Amino acid sequence: MRPMIYLFGDSITEESFSNGGWGASLANHFSRTLDVVLRGYSGYNTRWALKVLDKVFPAPEGGDGGVEPIAVTVFFGANDASIPDRCSSFQHVPLHEYKQNLHSIVSCLKKQWPTTHILLITPPPIDEDARLRDPYVENSMGLAERTNEAAGAYSKACVAVAGECGIPVVDLWTKMQHLPEWRKAHLRDGLHLTETGNRLVFEEVIMTLKDGGVCLETLPADLPLLGDIDPKDPLKAFQ
């Protein structure tokens, strides 16, 4: 059976198999080695994620934790960081609770699957002007429902949790802002990712997995690769 990676997160995970998405790129990269399993839930924050954790990753009746994935990406915070008194306030989770929830998610996963690589991803930066232009959000007060400052605070908290748990983290909030034109280059609507933004997430995730020993060089290929099949005696490869 092939090892698998779960992608657990909010809309930025749920839509990660759209054109050029980071999830699809992972599945393509690991096409003969790993199964990439999508568990993205649009709009969810860590409070809701914690409520559904045992449904997302059910422990089978036998008592063990089920098939242990090789890795899980945990990518929440963009909704937690919604500003409390603005139009997405129902998704807001206070910063201290966000930290606590992330800790709980990580420790539940570690308890269920002790050897699984758990990888945190911080929320991306926010382009507030683009949020104000988003026709799907009622920012009627002229104030964006998400701010880059708040996203930064949640991002720092996420990095801190990773440190406290001794697990790797992709600090997307910081990495994306390295590019001067990050607002247009990485963000589609001030929050969700462009193809370039998706590319960055993909590259950071495979680099972080590789640091943990999960890479094409170490994973066995599922069944003989074409290059390893002898054209003069192809069936030998299948004996």
Beta-strand runs (E) in the chain: 4-9, 35-40, 71-75, 117-121, 169-170
Q: Please identify which of the residues 92, 117, 186, 192 carries the catalytic annotation.
A: 192
Return d(Cα 201, Cα 153) in angstroms, integer.
Answer: 20
Question: How many residues would you count in the chain?
Answer: 239
Number of residues forming the site for its own copies (CB under 8 A): 43
- Nearest approach in angstroms of CB 22 to its own copies is 11
Q: With contacts defined by CB under 8 A, name the span among 68-76, 141-149, 177-185, 224-232 that binds its own copies.
A: 224-232
Is residue 136 at the binding interface for its own copies, with CB under 8 A as the rule? no
Q: Based on the residue annotation, tell me whether 35 is a catalytic residue of this protein.
A: no
The residue from 3, 9, 21, 197 that contacts its own copies (CB under 8 A) is: 21
Task: Tell the burial category of 141 from Cβ atoms under 10 Å away from its Cβ (0-12, 13-18, 19+).
Answer: exposed
DSSP code, position 220: P
Return d(Cα 126, Cα 81) in angstroms, integer.
Answer: 10
Q: Based on the residue annotation, tell me whether 134 is a catalytic residue of this protein.
A: no
Q: Based on the residue annotation, tell me whether 189 is a catalytic residue of this protein.
A: yes
Q: Please identify which of the residues 10, 11, 54, 92 carries the catalytic annotation.
A: 11
Q: What single letter denotes the amino acid at residue 169?
A: V
Is residue 41 at the binding interface for its own copies, with CB under 8 A as the rule? yes
Count CB neighbours of 102 within 10 A: 26
Under the rule (CB under 8 A), what is the footprint of its own copies?
A: 1, 14-15, 17-21, 23-25, 27-28, 31-32, 35, 37-44, 47-48, 51-52, 55-56, 58, 90-91, 222-223, 225-226, 229, 231-232, 234-235, 238
Query: Looking at the annotation, which residues are catalytic?
Result: 11, 189, 192
